[in-house]
Structure 1
C-alpha cells in the first residue's frame, strides 16, 4: 500500500531517535579506553555491574522472569575519595568518600546500598569486616555500622544502607568509612580461628554506591507481563476487533488476497554499527524486529485492527483515495535491559520498555 513504506521509515527513524536519546547517560561492546575501565577499582566496579546484568537479563538483553530487582534502574555511583588513612597502631582503615546522588526528575529512589569491593591482597581467603560509617551533612554528623563477610570466592558484597540515606535531600553524600577486617581460617575443629589483618594494607577498596530507582511506577512495570484484563462479556470492548466489519453487509464474504502480507521481520544490529559501543556495554547485539507488508482490504480478527482502520480502508477505496489505507505497524512490544556508561563515570542498568516488536497490526 502507499503508506506502508513511508510508515516503516517513520518507525525505524523513531526507533533510532529513541535510542539516540539514551546518550544522555553513557561486555562485549565496551570501549575499554573509558576512564572507568582503566583503573583496577573501575574494572572491578564494571565487572560487578556486568554480573548484575547477567543475573537480570539473558544474552539477547531481555529481562529474566520473574524480575529480580524490584526496580527498573540501578545506577552505580563511583566514589570520589581522599587517600586512605591508617597507622600501624590503629586497627581501623579509613576512607573519606563523596558520592554524587544523581537522580533524574522522573526517578523514584527505592533503595541504596554499598558495594564493598575486596582488594587484591588475600583475595582467595575468607574474611569478615566490621564497618563504621560517619555521615557529614548540614544537620551535623550521624553514625551507623554493620558487618560484611566475604567467602573465599567472593570479590564483592552488597550492604543495604537505605534507612541512612533515603531521607536525605542533598545531592552529594560525604562519608567517612572505617573498617577492620579479620581473616577466617578453615574450620578444622569446633572453634573457628581468626587473625586480625593489618590496617596498613587496605583489604577493602572504597565502596561504590548503588541507587535502585524506578522511573515510571512499580505497579506499571511489575504488571507488564501479567495477564491481560478480561472484559465483561457484554461490554463494548468485547466487540473491539472487526465489530463494524461484521455489521457491514457482505464485508466478510468479499475476496481479499494479499501476497505481501503485513508481518513481523527480524533485523539484527550491533551497537557498534550505530557508533554507540563506547557507552553501551551490553547487550552487544539487538534485534528490534520491524513490521512490513500490505494490509488486506478485509481486516480479520487476527490483525487486532481498530474499527477506525476498517472505515479508513473503505474511505480510501470508495470515497477518497487521497486518504491513505491502514499501514502495517507494530502491535505489541517487549522490553530489553541495557547496561551503559554515563558521562560522569556512573554505570547504569536500565530496563527500557517497548524496544522489541512482538507482533504487527494494521491501523
Structure 2
C-alpha cells in the first residue's frame, strides 16, 4: 500500500511538471522558479527577435490595430505568397519598405513625416510621396485647363544653409485636372538629407500651377489630407531601404518548376484582391503532421524535408504582425546511407565522405548529414513602435529542399 501511494504521488508530480500546451503565452505559475523554464522561454523569444532584427517587440502589441495602407498590403501580396515566402528575391528594391503618415495633418499643401525609426546605417534607395488627388468640387465651374503642373519642394532652413533659398525642387510633372486617384512623386534627395541630419526635416511643400505658370485655384486641385478625409487616402511617404544584411544569392533562387508569374510592384490605387491566408484548420493540419511518431520514423528514412510550422499567434506576436499569421519553415531529417543517389542531392564532398565511411578507412568519419541545401526568404508586414507599417524581407528562413552534405 505504501509503495502504491509513492507511485501515485510521483505520477502527480510528473503531470504537474509537464509544460502547458500554451507554453509560449503562459507565465508558468505552476512551475518551480528553479526549473529555469521561464528563463529558457524568454531567452528563446529574445533570440527569435534577434533573427528578425529586433531587440524588443514593437510597442503596438496589445493596442488596437489600425488598418494598414492598401499600398503596403498590395506590395506584400506582390512580393510574397500566402505563407510570406518571397516569390522573387530580385523584385523588391532593397529589403525594407516603410510607410509613414503625415504628422502635420493640415489642410494646406505642406507635409511632414517622422523618420526617427530609420537607422542611419540603412541605405536610402528610393523615397516616394503618395498623394491622393480628389475630383474638383462639382459646384465649381468647369475649368478650361486640362492639365496642371504639380511640383514638390523640400523646405530648407536658410539660417543653417547660409542661403536665401527657402525650398528646393524635388519633383515636378503634369497631371490631369479632372482626374482622381493616387499621384506619386520621388523625394529621395530630401529623405537622404533628413536621415543624415534629423534637424533638417522641415517637411515638404506642394505647389500647383497652371501651364502658363499662374497659380491654380486650390478648390480645383485638391489633395486629401489626414484631417478631413478617410485614413485610406492619407498623404503617405513610402521609403525603400537596405539594411545591409547579406542576401543569400548563392543558395536562394527560383526553381523553373516553382516559378511564379512575373509580378510588378503595385501602384497606389484601388485595392487589389488579396489572396486568402491559410485557414486555422489548414494550419492545424500542417502542425499535426509534425508528430513525435512521424519525426522519429523519419530518422530511419532517407534524407527528406518535413513540415515545421511557426505560428506567430502562439508565440504572442499576432498583435503587431499583420501578415503572415505564420509560416512553414520546414526541417531536414533522415539518413544519408551509402551509396548516395542523386535523389539525395549530395555534394561531391558528401559522396567522398560516404565512401570513406563505407570503406571504414577512418573510424571517426561519420556518414554525411541531412541538411537544407536551398533556403528561401520570407516577408513580414508589421507595425513598428510608431505604428508605421513595415515590410521586411528576412533571408534563409525556409528550407526549400534537403540534401546530404
TM-score using structure 1 length: 0.61
1:246-285 pair list within 5 angstroms: 259-285=300-326
- CA RMSD in angstroms, aligned pairs only: 4.6
Name whichever structure is richer in strand by fraction: 1
For 2:95 and 2:253, locate their aligned partners in 1 and report how far apart those are by CA, in whole Å.
Answer: 14
Deviation at 1:264, TM superposition (A): 0.6
Aligned mate of 1:22, from 45, 52, 57: 52
SS at match of 2:73: helix
Answer whether contact 2:148 2:209 (CA < 8 A) is retained. Answer: yes
Aligned mate of 2:77, from 37, 50, 54: 54
Answer whether contact 1:61 1:337 (CA < 8 A) is retained. Answer: yes
Deviation at 1:72, TM superposition (A): 2.4
For 2:45 and 2:354, locate their aligned partners in 1 and report how far apart those are by CA, in whole Å.
Answer: 26
Change (3 A) 1:152 1:281: farther
Change (3 A) 1:329 1:217: closer
For 2:94 and 2:394, locate their aligned partners in 1 and report how far apart those are by CA, in whole Å.
Answer: 12
Answer whether contact 2:224 2:235 (CA < 8 A) is retained. Answer: no
Aligned mate of 1:80, from 103, 106, 112: 103
- Residue in 1 aligned with 2:150? 130
SS at match of 1:272: helix
Do structure 1's residue 33 and structure 2's residue 63 form an aligned pair? yes
- Residue in 2 aligned with 1:203? 224
SS at match of 1:99: coil
Aligned mate of 1:307, from 331, 343, 349: 349
Answer whether contact 2:302 2:334 (CA < 8 A) is retained. Answer: yes
- Residue in 1 aligned with 2:168? 143
- Residue in 1 aligned with 2:295? none
Which residues of structure 2 form unaligned runs of 5+?
1-42, 138-145, 211-215, 227-233, 256-298
Deviation at 1:268, TM superposition (A): 3.2
- Residue in 1 aligned with 2:380? 338
For 1:310 and 1:216, locate their aligned partners in 2 and report how far apart those are by CA, in whole Å.
Answer: 37
Change (3 A) 1:14 1:275: closer
Change (3 A) 1:308 1:222: closer
Change (3 A) 1:96 1:308: closer
For 1:280 and 1:127, locate their aligned partners in 2 and report how far apart those are by CA, in whole Å.
Answer: 42
Deviation at 1:283, TM superposition (A): 1.8
Do structure 1's residue 95 and structure 2's residue 110 form an aligned pair? yes
For 2:339 and 2:177, locate their aligned partners in 1 and report how far apart those are by CA, in whole Å.
Answer: 65
What is the number of equivalent residue pairs in this alignment? 288
1:314-329 pair list within 5 angstroms: 314=356, 318=360, 325-329=367-371
Answer whether contact 2:251 2:373 (CA < 8 A) is retained. Answer: no
Deviation at 1:357, TM superposition (A): 0.6
Which structure is higher in RCO with an 8 Å CA cutoff and minimum separation 6?
A: 1
SS at match of 2:86: coil
Deviation at 1:167, TM superposition (A): 5.0
- Residue in 2 aligned with 1:296? 337
For 1:306 and 1:276, locate their aligned partners in 2 and report how far apart those are by CA, in whole Å.
Answer: 42
For 1:319 and 1:105, locate their aligned partners in 2 and report how far apart those are by CA, in whole Å.
Answer: 55
- Residue in 2 aligned with 1:159? 185
Answer whether contact 2:131 2:223 (CA < 8 A) is retained. Answer: no
For 2:63 and 2:148, locate their aligned partners in 1 and report how far apart those are by CA, in whole Å.
Answer: 34
Which residues of structure 1 form unaligned runs of 5+?
1-12, 38-42, 86-92, 183-193, 228-257
Greater Cα offset, 266-275 or 217-226 = 217-226
Deviation at 1:67, TM superposition (A): 4.1
Do structure 1's residue 110 and structure 2's residue 151 form an aligned pair? no
For 2:249 and 2:101, locate their aligned partners in 1 and report how far apart those are by CA, in whole Å.
Answer: 28
For 2:318 and 2:384, locate their aligned partners in 1 and report how far apart those are by CA, in whole Å.
Answer: 13
Answer whether contact 1:56 1:68 (CA < 8 A) is retained. Answer: yes
